[in-house]
Structure 1
Amino acid sequence: MWVLWAHASSTARLEQSFHDIADRVKIEGRRDPQVNIFKLVHDWMCDTDERWLLVLDNVDDAGFLFDAQATTSKIAAKPLHEYLPYCAHGCVIVTTRNKEAALQLVEQRDIIALDPMNALQARTLLAKKLGVQAASGNAAELIALATILEHMPLALVQAAAYISQRAPLCSVAQYLDQFRKSERKRTSLLSYDKDHLRRDREAKNSIITTWQISFEYIQQKRPSAADLLSLMSFFDRQGIPKNVLQTQAEHKEDKHNRKIDTAKADRSENDNSVQFECTDSDVENQSWNDSADDFEDDDFEDDFDDDDVDDTDFEDDSEDDAFSEDITALRNFCFISVSTDGTTFEMHALVQLSMRTWLAANGRLGRYKDQFINNLCEAFPTGEYENWTACQALFAHAKAATSHKPEGASSLVQWATLLYRAAWYAERKGSAGEAEVLATQSLKARKKVLGRDHEDTIWGLAMVASAHKIGGKWDASEELEVLVMETRKTKLGADHPSTLTSMANLASTFWNQGRWEEAEKLDVQVMETRKTKLGADHPDTLTSMANLASTYRKQGRWEEAEKLEVQVMETSKTKLGADHPDTLNSMNNLAFTWKSLGQTVKAICLMQQCIQRCEQVLGASHPHYLSSLLVLEQWEGEQADVELLNRFKDMRL
Structure 2
Amino acid sequence: MAELLAAGTALGVASSLVTFSDVAWRVLKRLKEYNDRTGNAPAVIKNISAQLPVLIDKMTEVKLETEKGSVSINPQTALAVAVTSCDELIQRLDVVTKKLLPEETDSRSKRIKKAFSSVYYEKEVSKAWGEIENYKTLLILHFTETKGAVQELETPRSKKPIFMVPFERDLKFVGRVDINTDIKQALQRQRRVAIAGIGGVGKSQIAIEYCYQFKEEYPEAQVFWVHASTVARFRQAYQDIARRLLIPGWNDPKVDTLQLVYEQLTDNDNCRWLLILDNADDTEVFFPSTEVKSKTQGELGGVARYLPHNSSGLIIITTRDTRVGRKLANGEKPITVLHMTVQEAKTMMLSRVLESCCESDLDRLLADLEYLPLAITQAAGFITETRITLSAYLNLLSANNASILDKEFDDWRRDSETSNSVIQTWKLSFDQIKRRHPRAAEILSLMAVLDRQGLQSFLLYENNEQEAEFIMALGTLQAFLLITSEKGGRVFEMHRLVQLATQRWLYLQGSLSNWQERALSVLSEKFPLGTYENWPICEVLSPHAQVILRCTFESKSCMLQYARLLNNFGWYNQTQGQYKAAYKKISEALKEREKALGKEHPDALTSVSNLAEVLESQGKYEAAEEMNRQALDGREKTFGKEHPNTLTSVNNLALVLQYQGKYEAAEEMNRRALDGYEKALGKEHPDTLASVYCLAYLLYRQQEYNTASELYQRASSGFRKTLGLSHPTTIACEKHYSSMMQKMGQDV
Same fold (TM over 0.5): yes
Among 595, 602, 627, the residue aligned to 1:448: 595
Question: 1:13 pairs with 219, 233, 251, which one?
Answer: 233
What SS does the aligned partner of 1:196 have?
coil
Residue aligning to 2:441: 226
SS at 1:136's partner residue? coil
Q: Secondary structure at the match of 1:55?
A: strand
Counterpart AA for 1:410: S
Q: Helix, strand or coil: the match of 1:108?
A: coil
Name the stretch that deviates more: 460-469 or 191-200.
460-469
Q: 1:341 to 1:44 in 2, by over 3 A?
A: closer
Return the TM-score normalized by structure 1: 0.67
The residue number in structure 1 matching 2:188 is none
Change (3 A) 1:63 1:13: same
CA distance in structure 1 between the aligned counterparts of 2:248 and 2:588, rounded to whole angstroms:
69
Taking a change above 3 Å as real, the CA distance of residues 486 and 60 of structure 1, as seen in their structure-2 partners, is same
Q: What's 1:144 paired with?
A: 364
CA distance in 2, matches of 1:162, 1:92: 35
8 Å CA contact 2:628, 2:649 repeated in 1: yes
Q: Counterparts of 1:86 and 1:571 in 2: how far apart (Å)?
A: 77
Aligned to 2:608: 461
2:405 to 166, 174, 190: 190
Alignment of 1:513-552 (within 5 A): 515=660, 517-518=661-662, 520-535=663-678, 537-551=684-698
What is the match of residue 427 of structure 1? 574
1:95 equivalent to 2:313? Answer: no
Deviation at 1:96, TM superposition (A): 0.7
Change in 2 beyond 3 A, CA 1:437/1:358: farther
Which residue pairs with 1:586 in the alignment?
733
Cα distance between partner residues in 2 of 1:582 and 1:136? 57
Kindly tell me: are residues 401 and 549 of structure 1, through their superposed partners in 2, closer, same or farther at Cα, counting changes over 3 Å? same
In 2, distance between residues paired with 1:553 and 1:78? 84
Aligned pair in 2 of structure 1 residues 482, 209: CA closer, same or farther (>3 Å)?
farther
CA distance in 2, matches of 1:178, 1:461: 41
Check if 1:154 corresponds to 2:374: yes
Q: Distance in 2 between matches of 1:176 and 1:477?
A: 46
Give the gaps of 5 or more residues in structure 2. 1-213, 216-222, 289-297
- Rate the CA distance shift 1:50–1:396 in 2: closer, same or farther, 3 A: same
User: What secondary structure, in the 3-state scheme, does the structure 2 residue paired with 1:532 have?
Assistant: helix
Partner of 2:264: 43
- Tell me the CA shift for residue 524 of structure 1: 0.8
Distance 2:367 2:620 in 1: 36
Counterpart in 2 of 1:501?
648
CA distance, structure 1, for counterparts of residue 669 and residue 324 of structure 2: 69
Select 1:210's aligned residue among 396, 418, 425.
425
Query: Does the 8 Å contact 1:330/1:336 carry over to 2?
Result: yes
The residue identity in structure 1 corresponding to 2:450 is F
Question: By how many angstroms is 1:586 displaced?
Answer: 0.6
Counterpart position of 2:284: 63
* Kept after mapping to 2: 8 A contact 1:380/1:391: yes
Deviation at 1:450, TM superposition (A): 1.6
- With 469-478 and 90-99 compared, the bigger mean Cα shift is at 469-478
Deviations 1:479-500 (A, max 9, x none): 6445434544565566654344
| Separation of aligned partners in 2, 1:214 and 1:157 | 20
CA distance change for structure 1 residues 13 and 546 in 2, over 3 Å: closer, same or farther? same
Query: In the aligned structure 2, how far is the partner of 1:178 from the partner of 1:554?
Result: 59
2:385 equivalent in structure 1: 165
Contact 2:653 2:669 in 1 (8 A): no
**1:583-622 alpha-carbon deviations (Å, 9 max, x no partner):** 01112222333454456xx59xxxxxxxxxxxxxxxxxxx
Tell which deviates more after alignment, 347-356 or 87-96: 347-356
Contact 1:558 1:596 in 2 (8 A): no
2:716 corresponds in structure 1 to 569
Structure 2: distance between partners of 1:497 and 1:122: 65
Aligned to 1:128: 350
Is contact 2:639-2:646 (8 Å) kept? yes
Change (3 A) 1:41 1:394: same
Distance in structure 2 (CA, Å) of the matches to 1:19 and 1:390: 59
Match of 2:76 in 1: none
d(CA) in 2 for partners of 1:166 and 1:48? 53
Is the CA contact 1:247–1:375 (under 8 Å) kept in the aligned structure 2?
no
- Worse-superposed segment, 430-439 or 557-566: 557-566
Aligned to 2:472: 325
1:248 paired to 2:484:
no
Q: Is the 8 A contact 1:526 1:544 kept in 2?
A: no
Q: Secondary structure at the match of 1:95?
A: strand
Conserved? CA contact 1:42–1:84, under 8 Å:
no
Q: Which residue of 1 aligns with 2:336?
A: 113
- Please report how far the alpha carbon of residue 582 of structure 1 lies from its aligned counterpart in structure 2 after TM superposition: 1.1
Q: 2:671, 2:695 within 8 Å by CA — same for their partners in 1?
A: no
Instruction: Tell me the amino acid that sits aligned with residue 221 of structure 1.
Output: R
What secondary structure sits across from 1:193 in the alignment? coil
Aligned to 2:547: 400
Matched, 1:84 2:307: yes
The residue that corresponds to 1:620 in the other structure is none
Determine the C-alpha separation between the residues in 2 that align with 1:492 and 1:78.
69
**CA distance in 1 between partners of 2:527 and 2:735 (Å):** 30
Q: Name the CA distance, whole Å, in 1 between partners of 2:745 and 2:390.
A: 66
Q: How far 1:95 sits from its partner (Å)?
A: 0.8
- The letter of the residue matching 2:396 is Q
Q: Is the Cα–Cα contact under 8 Å of residues 234 and 404 in structure 1 kept in the other structure?
A: no
| 1:50/1:340 CA distance change after superposition, 3 Å | farther
| Counterpart for residue 374 of structure 1 | 521
Distance 1:339 1:218 in 2: 22
Q: How many residues align?
A: 512
**Bigger mean CA deviation after superposition, 151-160 or 198-207:** 151-160
Q: What amino acid maps onto 1:106 in structure 2?
A: A
Q: Which string of whole-angstrom CA distances, capped at 9 and with x for unpartnered residues, describes residues 115-144 of structure 1? A: 4456x35753664366456x42233x4443
Q: Distance in 1 between matches of 2:727 and 2:346?
A: 52
CA distance in 1: counterparts of 2:634 and 2:350, whole angstroms: 65
Q: Does 1:362 align with 2:509?
A: yes
SS of 2:484 mapped into structure 1: strand
The residue identity in structure 1 corresponding to 2:357 is S
* Preserved CA contact (<8 Å) 1:62 1:104: no
Change over 3 Å in CA distance of 1:88–1:460 after alignment to 2: same
Deviation at residue 423 of structure 1 after TM alignment: 2.7
* CA distance 1:380–1:505, change in 2 (3 Å): same
CA distance in structure 2 between the partners assigned to 1:445 and 1:483 by the alignment = 17
For residues 573 and 79 of structure 1, the distance between their equivalents in structure 2, rounded to whole angstroms, comes to: 68
CA distance in 2, matches of 1:466, 1:146: 47
Contact 1:377 1:415 in 2 (8 A): yes
